Amino acid sequence: MKKQTLLFIVLIASLVLSACGAGGELEKNREKWDAQGIGHYRFELTVSCFCAFMDIMPVAVEVKDGKVVSMTGADGQPVSGESRQYFEEAATIEGLFALAAKNLKEAEQVEVKYDAAYGFPTSIVVDMIKLAVDDEISYYVGSFKALP
């Protein structure tokens, strides 16, 4: 077997194993989150990208029973209209898990970190195409609080 072919096979195998490991970690943390049974919570969401809405972050999000109850910008104003659409898919813990799962399958490079106590993603850093410019996007969760 040629050396190039062998290197190619090793590279593909390592990528497949890497993807399986990341997915397993996601599932383990998803189970940890689900086991908590938290239906009402608040957190701060920061989306980092080549975006026009940087001045309203972090956005304070309150969620009850899987639905966004409120979304308030750092300026104290409700996030609405066009700006709100940029936060919607990451505005719940369930949405963050879905974003992580989708990007682990589709993006060339993804790094997900999880909360040690609750299991939810605290950061999702995505580079869809490593050699492309300005396609990176990151989601950060802070100040999480379970509510009664």
- Find the helix or strand (DSSP H, E) in which 7 lies: helix 3-36
For tokens 């956005």, the residue is 59
Backbone angles phi, psi at 34, to 5 degrees: -60, -35
Q: The domain that contains 101 carries what CATH number?
A: 2.50.20
Q: Which residues contact 96 (CB under 8 A, 6 or more apart)?
A: 90, 120, 121, 124, 139, 141
Helix axes of 93-106 and 3-36: crossing angle, nearest 10 degrees: 170
Average pLDDT over residues 67-83: 90
Residue pLDDT, tens place only, 11-32: 444 444 444 456 689 999 999 9
The pLDDT value recorded for residue 49 is: 78
The pLDDT value recorded for residue 3 is: 52
Helices then strands, each counted (H, E), the chain:
3, 6
Whether the CB-CB separation of 103 and 84 falls below 8 Å is answered with no
Residue pLDDT, tens place only, 97-107: 999 999 899 88
**Pair of tokens at residue 47:** 């989306």
Strand ranges (E), 73-135: 109-114, 121-127
The pLDDT value recorded for residue 12 is: 45
Confidence of residue 10 (pLDDT cuts 50, 70, 90): very low
Q: How many domains does the chain have?
A: 1
**Host domain of residue 126:** 3-146
The pLDDT value recorded for residue 128 is: 77
Determine the length of the chain. Answer: 148
